[in-house]
Amino acid sequence: MDTILIKNAGWVVTMDPDRRIFADGAVAIEGDRIVEVGKTEQLAAKHKAQKVIDATGKMVLPGMIDTHVHNTQQLGRGLADGCEINVHLLERLYGYETAMMAEDAYWAALCCQLELIRAGTTCFIDPGSYFPRETAQAVGERSCPAVRMNSFDGSRRRRTTIEWGW
């Protein structure tokens, strides 16, 4: 079984029932399981791991889950800043999305997902767009898992559902 010790973390944020946070923290991993979290001094003495990751100056925390991110709107950022919601949606974003081509949607989704990974997001739900297939294609080219998306296919006016695994 592979063993990993992440040590010297500036902070380990557990999100366990007691909401424990450890300064100079460590995480011991065996196989696909976290077996212990705590202070580096204690865990380093107890867990002799095959792989040791020095997390000096880093924060270690559970992966975040984004439960509402429209991947294809990534390239439309700034189009509707400061607008009333009706202008924001009806004039700016819907106009942007209806002018979008499949290749645009693919690149928007890929950029969105790269940003999600960079921010520590490990899973997302896309609530929909005109391009669920292109969003799913982008999912297949990186490692952030996504769950399920329902959307309307703009050209055929029918509901499309796509599911991904990881």
Given the rule CB under 5 A, which residues bind Zn ion?
127
Q: Which is nearer to Zn ion, 43 or 139 (CB)?
A: 139
User: How crowded is the C-beta side of 101, counted as CA atoms within 13 Å?
Assistant: 2
State how far the alpha carbon of 166 is from the alpha carbons of 18, 31, 45, 105, 163, in Å. Answer: 29, 17, 34, 22, 10
Q: What is the closest distance, in whole angstroms, from the C-beta atom of residue 88 to Zn ion in the complex?
A: 11
Count other C-beta atoms under 10 Å from residue 161's C-beta. 10
CB of 127 to Zn ion, least distance (A): 5
Residue 116 burial by Cβ neighbours in a 10 Å radius (0-12, 13-18, 19+): buried
Between 42 and 161, name the residue whose CB sits nearer to Zn ion: 161
Cα–Cα dist 64/130, whole Å: 26
In angstroms, what is the minimal distance from the CB of 115 to Zn ion?
17
Q: What is the CA radius of gyration of the chain?
A: 21
Q: How far is the CB of 56 from Zn ion (least distance, A)?
A: 39
Q: Which residue, 56 or 67, is less far from Zn ion as judged by CB?
A: 67
Residues pairing with 30 in the sheet: 3, 33
Please identify, using beta-carbon distances, which residue of 120 and 127 lies nearer to Zn ion: 127
> Which residue lies nearer to Zn ion by CB, 127 or 154?
127
Please name which of 1, 44, 38 lies closest in space to residue 23, comparing C-alpha atoms: 38
User: Shortest gap between Cβ of 89 and Zn ion (angstroms)?
Assistant: 9
By beta carbon distance, the residue nearest Zn ion is 127
Query: Looking up tokens 């695994």, which residue turns up?
Result: 165
